[in-house]
Amino acid sequence: MSNIIIINGPNLNLLGVREKGIYGDMDFQTYFDVLRQSHDGVTLTYFQSNHEGAIIDKIHEVGFSMDGIVLNAGAYTHTSLAIGDAIAAVTTPVVEVHISNVYARESFRHHSYLAKNCKGVICGFGLDGYRLAVESLLIK
């Protein structure tokens, strides 16, 4: 049984409400319930925080024991050297996810402080990016 956690960062608690033209109209809990049901052999958990330190604490907490971390750090992706360092510090592989295609948006969204320390990056596939990230972590 694989243990995988999805960590969402700031403002992603507002999925389904926030800028629907960019992020869609489904709330994350609804998406997560379907994702969990369709992955019987995986223990999937979910954590969301709007606080940089809480995201770092969660990466430290799970990052030596779980099989994978799917991380959408929201805007912290483009600002947080500290989250980048936390990813480098742990042994669990991390896949960076973005719902939108950040490369088709403002130039400040084109740089990630996290990507270099991640196993890979998935962006631009909407919420389905989380499923793609989970499946990528299941490939041995």
**How big is the chain by its Cα radius of gyration, in Å?**
14
Query: 136 a known binding residue?
Result: no
* Rounded alpha-carbon distances, angstroms, from residue 124 to 7, 35, 91, 100, 104: 18, 18, 27, 4, 9
Q: How far apart are CA 45 and CA 29, in angstroms?
A: 11
Nearer to ligand DQA, 3 or 124 (CB): 124
Least distance to ligand DQA, CB of residue 40, Å? 27
Query: 107 a known binding residue?
Result: no
**From 31, 76, 98, 130, the catalytic residue:** 98
Question: Terminal CA-to-CA distance of the chain, rounded, Å?
Answer: 13
Residue numbers at the binding site for ligand DQA (CB under 6 A): 11, 72, 74-75, 77, 98-100, 102, 109
Query: 78 a known binding residue?
Result: yes
Q: How far apart are CA 26 and CA 19, in angstroms?
A: 11
Nearer to ligand DQA, 2 or 26 (CB): 26
Nearer to ligand DQA, 42 or 102 (CB): 102
Query: 87 a known binding residue?
Result: no
76 in active site: no
Q: How far apart are CA 112 and CA 15, in angstroms?
A: 21
Q: Which residues contact 20 (CB under 8 A, 6 or more apart)?
A: none
23 in active site: yes
Q: Which residues are annotated as a binding site for substrate?
A: 72, 78, 85, 99-100, 109
Catalytic center residues: 23, 98
Q: Which residues are annotated as a binding site?
A: 72, 78, 85, 99-100, 109
